Amino acid sequence: MGKTFENIYMIDDDPIYLFLAKKLFIEQKFSQNIKTFENGKVALECLLDSQNLNENLPDIIFLDLNMPILNGWEFLDSFNAAPIPNKEKITIIVMSSSINPIEIDMIKSYPVVNDYIVKPLTPADLQKLLAF
């Protein structure tokens, strides 16, 4: 893989999945800078704070749908409404174990969502994302 992503946010409440995905990113040289969040609320706060702290926004966000506190749907709605500069440059990938066609159609109705990946994340999924 030639291209890499500078900054990645992983938003998922499963610590084992986060560990394995982070390991996959590093092994595949997809990214070395990966921030993990256990819910959408903490991630959204970090996005909003990043402009105050002069930190780089993520290039890509991997978002789980089913989480406590602020789930993926609520995160997407909050992200859309949030005053985050240059947020249109952030690629959002929804990850879920659901293959429900109704849920997939709902995900695709969000203009900020670039793609949907059925868990678990694989090296082939990462290859596909590098083509964006």
Q: Across residues 1-21, what is the average pLDDT?
A: 86
What are phi and psi for residue 90, nearest 5 degrees? -90, 125
Residue 111 has pLDDT above 70, yes or no: yes
* Phi, psi for 115 (deg, rounded to 5): -165, 165
d(CA 83, CA 37): 20
Query: Can you list the positions of beta strands (E) in the chain?
Result: 7-11, 33-37, 60-64, 91-96, 113-118
Average pLDDT over residues 25-32: 88
Q: What Å distances lie between residue 14 and 29, 66, 114, CA to CA?
A: 22, 10, 22
Per-residue pLDDT reduced to its tens digit, 29-79: 888 899 999 999 999 999 998 776 667 889 999 999 999 999 999 999 999
| Average pLDDT, integer, range 66-95 | 92
Q: Which residue has the tokens 């949030």?
A: 82
Query: How much helix, strand and coil, in percent to the nearest 5, is found in the chain?
Result: 40, 20, 35
- Whose CA is closest to 43, among 62, 15, 24? 62
Please name the residue that has the structure tokens 């406590």: 68
The CA distance from 3 to 73, in Å, is: 29
Structural tokens at position 42: 């903490």
